[in-house]
Chains A and B, each alone.
Chain A
Amino acid sequence: MPSFAARPPGADTSAARAYHEFYQEDFRPREHYLPMWEHIQRTGQHLLGDKAREAHLTLHTEGVTFTVYSESDEGIERVWPFDILPRIITAAEWAHIEAGLKQRIRALNLFLKDLYHGQRCLKDGVIAPALIFRGKDFCREIMDIDAPHDIYTHIGGVDLIRDEDGRYLVLEDNLRTPSGVSYMIENRIVERRILPEFFSKYRVRRVEHYPALLLQALRHLSPRGKDRASIVVLTPGIYNSAYFEHTFLAKEMGVELAEGRDLVCRNDRVFLKTTHGLQQVDVIYRRVDDAFLDPLVFRADSVLGVAGLINAWRAGNVALVNAPGAGIADDKAVYSHVPALVRYYLGEEPILRQVPTYQMTDPDDRAYVLDNLERMVVKAVAESGGYGMLMGPSSTTAQRADFARRVQADPRNYIAQPVVQLSRHICYLDGELESRHLDLRPFIVYGDGIDVVPGGLTRVAMTKGSLVVNSSQGGGSKDTWVLAE
């Protein structure tokens, strides 16, 4: 049995309230981490340093990168930040998460279908009309269009955190074009290559089959039948922060990667321009935002989209993944109503809890939040990637005053949540084991059925004490292991 130092590495007490994924209350590693920990103790920590360098080098040579928009004066492309110590989730925990996510996605999908057709949820008063019709992502343009197979939320990335008691909470849903899945797979590939000895101690469930799963779901959607499915990944191009992922998925699925100008619509059908002439496209996995998808219907100045795409979708000749208009279901102001939507559409109690949310449109909520800004996280409802957000405890007076003004000017555009101490995990940073906060983004694919990939993207706030894990804000990542029974 290895001996532990008086103060175990990475067990600082500054965020004592936060749940620790690795340590128990008495600073012994949790049971499912013991085999790994014993191995590290035996081989010595210095080996981890070599492994970490090797991992960085691998990611660098493989070209696994991410783009950070806010650091434009430096090179905008960065090597994907990766911590070699995996995060481990037990089979029992995962069963709970998986059931909760499937339930949530099923409900949100029914919600979207209803919203763009009969609006039963508004008639029955489950959700306030103002939340929908004043929501930036409600897409009037697609009212009454029937999405193929009634699926809107083909690919979901749901951000989960753990509260102080270790309970998993949904922090937000991502139903537009959630990114990160390629990094989940790359993390696994690198981890397997660098630390094969860890894997021999566990039965870790696979995540590498995600592209096959996605391909199967996309084929299922083809209006001409899955045997004749011609599929493309539609990317905004090389300047998009997730361009790496677009190329990765197209390559792994063996389908074309296209930009808007490579496609053309004729008679409500979409065609790919190839050297052999026009080739009809049945399914488009689009990574272009709604607003830019079709200049005829949405932003007329968009050069990233395809004119006529929405009409081809309307005519049922092409499937769009995810469906346009899905963004209203992950609107942060709609989020607080998701438990009610689960009960309404499914008649079930929500399996996963979520973070309490203050609506800035409610005068009482708003007054309370503005009085307590330093204890709140304020988020713009239709933003993602950690943009347009105020993290109360680490904000300056000027930032808080600025946000208070913004909230008062446009209350529908903001929500607030109490700061939840995200759970922590040990990370190997510059030769030391340090604790950092993290979250988890599992990926859900809705095709013939709903599949949750056992794993996900664990994002780590690399700055000590920070609660912001977004990759676009300089967050890091870990491989995520879901254990088989």
Chain B
Amino acid sequence: MRFRIHRSVAIRCPAPVREHHLEWRCAPWDDAGQRLHRLAVTCTPQVDMASHRDCFGNQVHRTALLGAHDGLLLAMDADVETLLDDPFACERIEPAREREWISASLREAPRLWDLVLHRDAASPLLQALVDGADATELGVDARMADALPVLRPGVALFAQLQDANTWLTGTCASLRLDVTAGATAEDASADRPLREARGTPAELAMTLAALARSWGLPARLVSGYHSEPPAADGAGLHHWAEVLVPGAGWRGLDPSAGRVADAAYVRLAVGRTCQDLRPLRQSWQGEADAAPQPELIRIEAGG
């Protein structure tokens, strides 16, 4: 599928600021799963922009405005082609050999360990539940604890991950991100789905990632776009999880929709947590007490 994506963000400063430095993670990925045919990133007023890749492989654009100003406009235009028409197609690996495949991948690229070893607020809860602790004492919602997927030996990992994804979709209510109250995906709480059986797409994705990690699989959070208008997220970005699947590589699982990510999903940034995906980082000098506020002006993601 081909997409034209336009995203523009206005940053308004409550009082003039200077020495304003910005990092913007806005560019779609360019890899085997999706091709980036064209990318243009601009800033108004016009300043030089440079870019680099962070340790997760995300492209980061950076710039700085030194003089006093009270706002600026960032814009990104991209043509992307997604190639994953059949996300279920993969080299078949016997369940008994799947661990070997994972171990070999970790040996080959030790950075993947970062995505296995990461712990968040959901991790100790998951561990305690597996160890047989009482859900009520832990403060875990009974609906979540009762049917918590546990690793079944001899069953293909991808199938088990899909089951876990479906279970999460069926058990948890999907919440909208309350953007009017200033909420962003970065505030996502990793353990809310376990404690309350509900969560935003980012929170559900974090829970699924934590579960996959507890099984020893590299798992990461993804932000990006979906071809249909985002179902549950008003901030313009959708969130889902990706897990390294034996024989296939990274495969996306979207627990807010109960789907395996296919060519309808466009990936923008990946990382251990929502903090790693944070679209905008900035630093400034000036009188303003409050941070210069980013405001999404327009987002279009169309075929």
Interface residues of A (CB under 8 A from B): 119, 122-123, 129-130, 132-134, 140-141, 143-144, 261, 264-268, 295-297, 300, 307-308, 311, 314-315
Contacts and interface: CB of A to CB of B under 8 A. Distances in A.
B64 A308 contact: yes
Nearest to A129: B113
A264 B110 contact: no
Please name the 3 residue pairs, one residue from A and one from B, whose CB atoms are nearest each other, closest first.
A122-B110, A143-B55, A129-B113
Nearest to A314: B52
Contacts of A132: 113
B23 interface: yes
B244 to A, nearest CB: 15
Contact of B283 (A130, A133, A300): A300
A309 to B, nearest CB: 10
Contacts, number: 66
Contact of A308 (B21, B48, B118): B21
B50 A122 contact: no
B50 A296 contact: no
B21 A133 contact: no
Given A133-B117, A266-B66, A300-B283, A307 B55 contact: no
Contact of B117 (A123, A130, A268, A308): A130
Contacts of A265: 21, 64
13 contacts: A119-B111, A123-B110, A129-B110, A130-B117, A133-B117, A144-B55, A261-B285, A265-B64, A266-B66, A296-B281, A296-B283, A308-B64, A314-B52
B99 interface: no
A452 B64 CA distance: 41
B106 to A, nearest CB: 8
A303 to B, nearest CB: 10
B117 A129 contact: yes
Interface in B174-228: none
Given A122-B110, A140-B55, A264-B66, 17 more contacts: A122-B113, A123-B107, A129-B110, A130-B113, A133-B113, A134-B117, A140-B114, A143-B55, A144-B55, A296-B283, A307-B284, A308-B62, A308-B283, A311-B50, A311-B62, A314-B52, A315-B50
A144 B58 CA distance: 13
Interface in B19-71: 19, 21-23, 48, 50, 52-55, 62, 64, 66
A279 to B, nearest CB: 15
A307 B283 CA distance: 6
Contacts of B284: 307
A300 B48 CA distance: 23
Interface string B246-276: 0000000000000000000000000000000
Nearest to B52: A314
A300 B281 contact: yes
Contacts of A133: 113-114, 117-118
A265 B283 CA distance: 12
Interface residues of B, number: 28
B282 interface: yes
Interface string B117-130: 11100000000000
A267 B283 contact: no
B48 A267 contact: yes
Contacts of B110: 119, 122-123, 129
A431 B228 CA distance: 85
Contacts of B282: 296
Contacts of B55: 140-141, 143-144
B117 A307 contact: no
Contacts of A297: 23, 281
A426 B118 CA distance: 50
Contacts of A266: 64, 66
A295 B284 CA distance: 9
Contacts of B21: 265, 296, 307-308
A268 B21 CA distance: 11
Contacts of B107: 123
Contacts of A144: 53, 55
A381 to B, nearest CB: 16
Interface in B87-125: 106-108, 110-111, 113-114, 117-119
Given A264-B66, A267-B48, A268-B50, A296 B23 contact: yes
Contacts of B285: 261
Contacts of A295: 283
Nearest to A145: B52
Nearest to B65: A266
A29 B228 CA distance: 86
Nearest to A264: B19
Interface in B104-158: 106-108, 110-111, 113-114, 117-119
A267 B47 CA distance: 10
A265 B22 CA distance: 12
Contacts of B50: 267-268, 311, 315
A129 B114 CA distance: 8
Nearest to B48: A267
Contacts of A311: 50, 52, 62
A118 B55 CA distance: 12
Nearest to B20: A307
Contacts of B108: 123
Nearest to B276: A140
Contacts of A315: 50
A311 B113 CA distance: 26
B250 to A, nearest CB: 19
A264 B285 CA distance: 11
B54 A141 contact: yes
A251 B108 CA distance: 49
A144 B110 CA distance: 14
Contacts of B117: 129-130, 133-134
Nearest to A132: B113
Contacts of A267: 48, 50, 64
A252 B123 CA distance: 52
